[in-house]
Structure formats: C-alpha cells, structure tokens
C-alpha cells in the first residue's frame, strides 16, 4: 500500500502527534517502525494527510495521461475519469472482490509506472464504450 489506510488507535505513553502535537487518538504513522516519538500521528492529521496524498496522486495521474477525454476531447475535469483501455477493469480486484477504484486506483497507477493500459475518458465516452461492447459510439460512428 502506498498510503496508510488504517489508523489503529493506540495509546502510547509520552507520545504525541508529530503534526499537531495532540496526545489523543494517536496511531503509528507509516514510519512507526522507527519507533521514535515524532513518528506518531493523530487520527485527524492522518485523515488530512491521506486526503492530501490522494489529491496528489490524482493530479499525477491526470498530469501523465492528460486532462482531457482521450476520445472526444472533453476537458471538464469533473466529467473525466480513469478508464481501462482494454476493458479489463474487472480483473483489477481487491481480495474483497471489489474493483480497484478512485483513490486506490490512482495510487496503483502511479506505483506501477503509469501503464499504457489506462487512459482518461469522460463519463459519456466511458459509459458509451461499456454499453457499446468496448468501443465508444463516437469511434464506432467515425468521429
């Protein structure tokens, strides 16, 4: 895992959050194995860090693949999402059986070196592609 997903609440004597210095709701930060005082983090800061990391990974992914739809050129970021070029999204599953989506997917893409098997598509093209057995109607109609 790239980022620290779970915050196990533990009570360490004389420990405090390395970010905000609170002594409450502490959990080991990703660097807890060093077992030094400064490597503990409170739940609030952990959540904030995770959110920041997620935003950073998302930005990295869009920086790499481009901030527009690979099919129709839509640039409204709110319409865009990551698409599996080969429609193999269902093979990317957690052990839990859930598809890897959103934050986890961004992290996975970055850590695996931006594979060519991903692209940015807008919701229309994404949806159209899946409804049209893997080819966006734009493409099928020779856009």
Binding positions for Zn ion, rule: CB under 5 A: 17, 19-20, 42, 45, 69, 71-72, 74, 122, 125, 136, 138
CA 104 – CA 91 distance, rounded (Å): 15
CB-neighbour burial class of residue 93 (10 A; exposed 0-12, middle 13-18, buried 19+): exposed
| Residue with Cβ nearer Zn ion (48 or 92) | 48
| Residue with Cβ nearer Zn ion (20 or 59) | 20
User: Least distance to Zn ion from the beta carbon of 131, Å?
Assistant: 11
User: Least distance to Zn ion from the beta carbon of 62, Å?
Assistant: 15
| Residue with Cβ nearer Zn ion (9 or 20) | 20
User: Least distance to Zn ion from the beta carbon of 120, Å?
Assistant: 9
Q: Which residues pair with 81 in a beta bridge?
A: 121
Name every residue whose Cβ is closer than 8 Å to that of residue 1 and which is 6 or more positions away in sequence: 107
User: Least distance to Zn ion from the beta carbon of 53, Å?
Assistant: 15
CA 102 – CA 106 distance, rounded (Å): 6
CA 24 – CA 86 distance, rounded (Å): 47
| Residue with Cβ nearer Zn ion (69 or 109) | 69
């Amino acid at each position: 895992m790239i980022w620290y997903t779970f915050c196990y609440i533990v009570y360490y004597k004389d420990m405090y959050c390395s970010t905000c210095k609170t002594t409450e709701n502490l959990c080991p930060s990703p660097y807890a194995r060093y077992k030094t005082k400064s490597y503990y983090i409170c739940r609030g800061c952990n959540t904030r860090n995770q959110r920041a990391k997620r935003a950073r990974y998302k930005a990295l992914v869009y920086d790499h693949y481009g901030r527009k739809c690979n099919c129709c050129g839509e640039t409204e970021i709110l319409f865009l999402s990551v698409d599996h070029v080969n429609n193999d999204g269902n093979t990317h599953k957690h052990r839990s059986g859930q598809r890897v989506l959103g934050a986890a997917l961004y992290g996975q893409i970055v850590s695996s070196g931006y594979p060519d098997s991903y692209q940015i598509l807008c919701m229309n093209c994404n949806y159209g592609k899946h409804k049209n057995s893997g080819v966006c109607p734009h493409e099928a109609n020779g856009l």
